[in-house]
Amino acid sequence: MSNPLTLERMRADIATVLHETPDAIADDDNLMDLGVDSLRALNLSLLWSESVPLEFSELAEHVTLAGWWGVVQARQKAHGIEA
């Protein structure tokens, strides 16, 4: 595993796939409404799996960055990864 995944990195990665700036992505924005479709979400989960073990299905249960970050925090804690 590489460096721990951070909220800032997640926001930046989402912004990159949407061709936006990170400050355009709020914690409680509906990511699907912003343009994160299932393929983009899958690609993001695969990218982030390099830092923390993630399953796409875990992220698919949530539609906000805050929701995704909650999943990541729980997975990092469960695997002893400190962000």
- A 10 A CB-CB count for 2 gives 7
In the numeric block, which tokens belong to residue 53?
């073990």
pTM for this prediction: 0.93
Contact 44, 67 (CB under 8 A): no
- What span, in angstroms and rounded, lies between the C-alpha atoms of 5 and 19? 21
Secondary structure of residue 64 in the 3-state scheme = strand
- What span, in angstroms and rounded, lies between the C-alpha atoms of 78 and 54? 11
- What span, in angstroms and rounded, lies between the C-alpha atoms of 49 and 78? 14
- What span, in angstroms and rounded, lies between the C-alpha atoms of 28 and 50? 25
Digit-coded pLDDT (tens) for 4-57: 899 999 999 999 999 999 999 999 999 999 999 999 999 999 999 999 999 999
